[in-house]
Amino acid sequence: MIRDILRMGDPRLLETSKRVADPGAPEIRALVADMFDTMHAANGAGLAAPQIGVGLRVVIFGYRDANARNPRYPDADPVPETILINPELTAIGPEFEDGWEGCLSVPGLRGVVPRHARLRYRGVDLDGQLIEREVSGFHARVVQHECDHLDGILYPMRITDFTLFGYTDVMFPGLADADD
């Protein structure tokens, strides 16, 4: 079921989400199904549970077709479809990279955000299976963006150069589906 996406200004986006006690519970499976329906309907690259008003540490991101590319991020590397429950992130090395980000909770805007260039992440899926990966580039960026939502952080809070923050249709007039 497609759910409403909360927008910046809603205090629920600023809360710290709770760990999931039982990743295999049917209500978590139903939550994740709703998150995919909602993300796909909005052409998103990822979604965190608090964005649909559920304060649990669950994020989804990526594409089932590894060669698919999001029309909103046409230059981004493909990212495998991933469900991550109770994620933990560990930066690898001191390097940060700047890159453009948008957010379904901040529609119509884009900004350049510095993120760790490489990181290790781990979490579990709906079967409680451990997922552990070392990633870089757009994959690393998406994970950091989504997991920030679990700590009440929206990407504009990470912007350091506000000359690189503005309306998508003004800055990227040719971009497909540029309404968020």
Transcribe 72-136 into DSSP letters: TSTTSPP-B-EEEEEEEEEE-SS-EEEEEE--TTSTTEEEEEEEESEEEEEEE-TT--EEEEEEE
When the beta carbons of 2 and 25 are compared against Ni ion, the nearer one is: 2
Q: How far is the CB of 22 from Ni ion (least distance, A)?
A: 26
Q: How far is the CB of 144 from Ni ion (least distance, A)?
A: 11
CA–CA dist 123, 130 (Å, integer): 6
The contact pattern for Ni ion, residues 63-102, with x = CB under 5 A and - = no contact, is: ----------------------------------------
Residue found by looking up tokens 């079921």 in the block: 1
Touching Ni ion, residues 96-155 (CB under 5 A): 103
C-beta of residue 135 within 8 angstroms of C-beta of residue 119: yes
Assess 42 for contact with Ni ion (CB under 5 A).
no
Q: How far is the CB of 129 from Ni ion (least distance, A)?
A: 25
Assess 54 for contact with Ni ion (CB under 5 A).
no
Specify whether 146 is catalytic. Answer: yes
CA–CA dist 112, 160 (Å, integer): 8
Q: Pick the catalytic residue from 15, 101, 132, 146.
A: 146
List 48's β-bridge partners, or say none.
59
- Smallest CA-to-CA distance from 149 within 29, 72, 22, 44 is with 44
When the beta carbons of 22 and 81 are compared against Ni ion, the nearer one is: 81
When the beta carbons of 31 and 103 are compared against Ni ion, the nearer one is: 103
Q: Which residues bind Ni ion (CB under 5 A)?
A: 103
Active-site amino acid positions: 146
